[in-house]
Structure 1
Amino acid sequence: MLRVLIVGAGLTGSLCACLLRRALQNRVHITVWDKSRGTGGRMMTRRAEDSVGADIGAQYISATEFYRNKHDSLYSELLSAGVFVPMSCPVEGLKQKDDSLNFVSPDGMGHIVKHFLQQSEAEVQLLRHVTCVSRRGAFWEVEFSEGQSEAFDAVVLTMPVPQILQLRGDLPESLSLCAGLSEQQGALLSQVQYSSRFGLVVSFSKDSSLNLPYGFKYVSDSPIVRYLSVEHQKRNLSSLGPSLVVHTSVSFGAAHLESPLDQVQPIIFEELQRLLPQLPEQSVLTSVPGCPGHMTVLEKPLMLLGGDAFTHSNFDGCVESALSLTRELTQRLTH
């Protein structure tokens, strides 16, 4: 049985694992590693004991007619399973494309990732921080944070590109990756840029009232806050205490990227209270050029790079990358 490792338990990695299982059935053993304590990546949902859980990263899915048709089977699957539903709450300040439809996940965006991981029947291991990938004949030896290692027939890396470029290896011809990353591939990866912003979750007690006329709001008159998500209204939940997610602007995130969190948090709170003075008491709880979905670093043994850095940064971008990775994996591993 072929052993395939997918590094990164976000949307691209989980969907790739699911599609690979459906394509190769029991001919492959799929392992998914992630350095975090939970799955989801940028679609992670943080749970709260007495308040509505909060989507930390992605808030909703905005699907154009083009991608609804192209990825129809996946949209139909997720809708049929109740993993996500059409969004019914108002969105203030959204510049909506005419043919776009919005969807939210009643159980949080992280539930989408969990759905695909369950379908994949993959062995999921968390707190596995990959530090080194070395070629050993026909296999890849992958070392993780505890200094231990395992061997795989194929490796798919879906974590952010800067983390890929920090991996160690033992091949002298490599740049930052032991896989023999070519100079041209290294140059393409070096062009990838990520925007940085802070996300703050504010939770309220069950008896608190947070009456806002929207589920989402895009803020245009603040240099600090860019986006607000009213989680209980977004997911139409009223049995728990309300939760609010605040995303800062990219410029604020970049300016305070190296600042300690305990210094940044009061600044965000002060601006939030200016924008929403009625809040009750609370407790804080650029793509790779020319790469269509993935990059093949080495064919034997197989190593692929994927993620939204190789397409575009949204739900359908991750789907495109996962489809591209699965096609390549299926073709290479069956010939």
Structure 2
Amino acid sequence: MIKTAMEKFVIVGAGMTGASSAALLRKILPVGTVVKILDKSRGTGGRMSTSRSSTGNSATVDLGAQYISINSHYAKVHQSIHEELISQGLLKASSGVIEDDKFGGDDIQQYITPAGVSSLVKYFVKQAGGEVAFEEHVTKVDVVGTKVKLTTLKGEEELCDGVILTMPVPQILQLEGSIRHLIDSQPKVKENLEKVSYSMRFAVGLFYDAGVTLSYPWAAKYFKDNPCVCYVAIDDKKRGIENSSVGSSAVVHTSVHFGMKHLEEDKEEVKNIIMKHVRELLPDLPEPSEVKGHKWRYSQVHKSYADEPGCVVLSHSPPIILAGDAFSHSNLDGCLTSALSARDAFVKSTGVKLPSNHL
């Protein structure tokens, strides 16, 4: 168990699990301890991604997670966190029509994010109060004495007192360095990691000039029988934004089957295929001023780590912890469950004391 003061702790991944893990650690680490987040992308959010139009139009669209679905169990377990997000205006009960909703139910309350789903992640990053470094692709994790050394694709090194890795499991298994020995030396852990799988899909964001109206009775709609499109949302309507001077936006998600079929094809070519299906489904949809495509190689978790432990500790000294929705489930509360589990594992490994009013 580590008894010396921690100078720096690193979280790899600026998605919801990484951001909330950083915020939770910030609450228990001494003042002066650096909490740093590294991410290989150009911004926060991970699969809670909000994309902005590149044409000068300030419209945004959620390309990843669409709604925050909270069941009665997590409404109690994570009540204080939900209430905090609601009080900050980041979460709001949904009032829009979701046609043919396949995820709702009497036990689930749907929430929307007025500022875009990535605003939740940005909030936790701000609460962490630490450094965030983008376009830092960690490729190697080594134990060096009582420290962890992270090496990026650029060859840059980061020495820290511990790390939480929140990237998709296949990317964890691709890491080089002594982390491979840590995984290989725990056969059951390795077996369970190798069994984790993800769904794959494409998303397309549609941006419109101000004044263009998308006149549909629904904010979002699921399509059950189309070979390509499974979901379309009018993003501003979904978020409850009315009469905005900013142009409308919409998002299209493909089915998992379509995503798997076209996964290795050029994103721009696939985007054209998707738009052909969209125009057939919604022939009266106005022509957008911009169309942005995105490939989700790792969309929702298809098969979780066995028994969904929340996190897995590869090393206690120094702490190397695996976390993310693969160790729970793919929604806000799954990420929060994993982050809380990672925090508790960190406490057990280091002897840091939890505050009396912790969740």
Between the aligned partners of 1:4 and 1:181, the Cα distance in structure 2 is 24
Q: In 2 relative to 1, CA 132–101 (structure 1 residues): closer, same or farther, beyond 3 Å?
A: same
Residue 143 (structure 1) aligned with residue 151 (structure 2):
yes
Between the aligned partners of 2:32 and 2:328, the Cα distance in structure 1 is 29
Q: Deviations over 1:225-280 (max 9, x none)?
A: 00111111011222211111000000000011111112211110110001111111
Residue 35 (structure 1) aligned with residue 40 (structure 2):
yes
Question: Any conservation in 2 of the 1:87–1:103 contact (CA below 8 Å)?
Answer: yes
Q: Which residue of the other structure, out of 198, 203, 209, is the alignment partner of 1:199?
A: 203
Structure 2 matches for 1:225-244, cutoff 5 A? 225-237=229-241, 238-244=244-250
Structure 2 matches for 1:26-175, cutoff 5 A? 26=31, 28-48=33-53, 49-50=56-57, 52-95=59-102, 96-169=104-177, 171=178
Between the aligned partners of 2:307 and 2:68, the Cα distance in structure 1 is 25
Larger mean Cα displacement after TM superposition, 94-103 or 312-321: 94-103
Q: Which residue of the other structure, out of 331, 345, 349, is the alignment partner of 1:332?
A: 349
Question: Any conservation in 1 of the 2:61–2:235 contact (CA below 8 Å)?
Answer: yes
Q: Which residue is equivalent to 1:211?
A: 215
| 1:179 CA drift (Å) | 6.4
Letter in 1 for 2:121: V
Describe the SS at the equivalent of 2:259.
helix
Q: Deviations over 1:116-161 (max 9, x none)?
A: 0101112111111001111111111110121010211111100000
Larger mean Cα displacement after TM superposition, 156-165 or 45-54: 45-54
Letter in 2 for 1:132: K
| 1:221 CA drift (Å) | 2.6
Residue 269 (structure 1) aligned with residue 286 (structure 2):
no
Letter in 2 for 1:194: Y
Stretches of structure 2 lacking an aligned partner (at least 5 in a row)? 293-302, 353-359
Q: Which residue is equivalent to 1:13?
A: 18
Instruction: Quote the RMSD (CA, aligned, Å).
Output: 1.5
Q: Which residue is equivalent to 2:297?
A: none
| 1:291 CA drift (Å) | 4.0
Letter in 2 for 1:229: A
Q: Deviations over 1:184-222 (max 9, x none)?
A: 211110000000000001111112121111111111131
Letter in 2 for 1:326: R
Larger mean Cα displacement after TM superposition, 323-332 or 127-136: 323-332
Letter in 2 for 1:265: K
Q: Which residue of the other structure, out of 23, 31, 36, is the alignment partner of 2:28?
A: 23
Residue 317 (structure 1) aligned with residue 334 (structure 2):
yes
Q: In 2 relative to 1, CA 167–20 (structure 1 residues): closer, same or farther, beyond 3 Å?
A: same
Between the aligned partners of 2:90 and 2:345, the Cα distance in structure 1 is 28
Question: Any conservation in 1 of the 2:50–2:62 contact (CA below 8 Å)?
Answer: yes
Q: Deviations over 1:278-310 (max 9, x none)?
A: 111212131000241000101111100000000
Between the aligned partners of 2:182 and 2:110, the Cα distance in structure 1 is 41
Q: Which residue is equivalent to 1:305?
A: 322
What percent of counterpart residues are identical? 40
Between the aligned partners of 1:278 and 1:98, the Cα distance in structure 2 is 33
Question: Any conservation in 2 of the 1:292–1:310 contact (CA below 8 Å)?
Answer: yes
| 1:25 CA drift (Å) | 4.3
Between the aligned partners of 2:79 and 2:98, the Cα distance in structure 1 is 25
Between the aligned partners of 2:21 and 2:218, the Cα distance in structure 1 is 35
Q: Which residue is equivalent to 2:285?
A: 279
Q: In 2 relative to 1, CA 181–127 (structure 1 residues): closer, same or farther, beyond 3 Å?
A: farther
Letter in 2 for 1:28: T
Describe the SS at the equivalent of 1:42.
coil
Letter in 2 for 1:11: M
Between the aligned partners of 2:131 and 2:185, the Cα distance in structure 1 is 28
Between the aligned partners of 1:134 and 1:23, the Cα distance in structure 2 is 25
List structure 1 segments (4+ residues) > 4 angstroms apart after TM superposition.
177-181
Between the aligned partners of 2:57 and 2:272, the Cα distance in structure 1 is 24
Between the aligned partners of 1:208 and 1:239, the Cα distance in structure 2 is 10
Larger mean Cα displacement after TM superposition, 41-50 or 241-250: 41-50
Letter in 1 for 2:347: T
Between the aligned partners of 2:50 and 2:176, the Cα distance in structure 1 is 31
Question: Any conservation in 2 of the 1:294–1:307 contact (CA below 8 Å)?
Answer: yes
Stretches of structure 1 lacking an aligned partner (at least 5 in a row)? none
